[in-house]
Amino acid sequence: MAFDIPEWRKIRVIIDTDAKNEADDQFAIVHGLLTPRFDILGIVAAQFENTGSMMERRDTMRQSYDEIEKLLSLTGFAKEAPAIEGALKPLESLRSAPESPGADLIVEEAMKEGEKPLFAVFMGPLTNMAIALLREPRVAERVTVVWIGGEDYPNGGWEYNLFNDIHAANVVFASGVELWQVPRGVYSTIRISIAELIHKVRPCGKVGAYLVEQLCDFNNSMKYPEWPKGEMWSLGDSPCISLLLDEHEYGYKMLPRPRISSDMYYIHEKTDRKVRVYHYVDSRFTLEDMFAKLALHYL
**CA 241, CA 189: separation in Å to the nearest integer?**
15
What's the confidence (pLDDT) of residue 115? 87
Q: 3-state class of 248 per DSSP?
A: coil
Whether 215 is in a domain gets the answer yes
Whether 293 is in a domain gets the answer yes
**pLDDT tens digits, one per residue of 65-86:** 999 999 999 999 999 999 999 9
Which residues on neighbouring strands pair with residue 267, listed in sequence order? 259
Q: How confident is the model at residue 231 (pLDDT cuts 50, 70, 90)?
A: confident
Whether 264 is in a domain gets the answer yes
Sequence letter at residue 67: E
Whether 2 is in a domain gets the answer no
What's the confidence (pLDDT) of residue 270? 94
**pLDDT(297) > 70:** yes
User: Among residues of the chain, what percentage have pLDDT more than 70?
Assistant: 95
Whether 96 is in a domain gets the answer yes
Q: Name the least confident of 3-7, 120-124, 133-137.
A: 3-7
Whether 24 is in a domain gets the answer yes
**pLDDT(227) > 80:** no
Which residues on neighbouring strands pair with residue 232, listed in sequence order? 193
**CA 286, CA 202: separation in Å to the nearest integer?**
18
**pLDDT(200) > 70:** yes
Give alpha helix (H) positions in the chain. 25-33, 49-54, 60-75, 101-110, 127-135, 160-163, 166-174, 184-187, 194-200, 205-221, 239-242, 283-298
**CA 244, CA 285: separation in Å to the nearest integer?**
12
Domain that holds residue 260: 7-298
**pLDDT(56) > 70:** no
CA distances from 227 to 62, 64, 79, 230, 231 (A): 25, 22, 37, 8, 11
Whether 74 is in a domain gets the answer yes
Q: What is the mean pLDDT of residues 138-143?
A: 98
* Domains identified in the chain, total number: 1
Domain with residue 195: its CATH number is 3.90.245.10
Whether 1 is in a domain gets the answer no
What's the confidence (pLDDT) of residue 1? 64
- Residue 183's CB is within 10 A of a number of other CB atoms, namely 21
Sign of CA dihedral 237, 49, 102, 64: negative
**pLDDT(57) > 90:** no
Q: 3-state class of 91 per DSSP?
A: coil
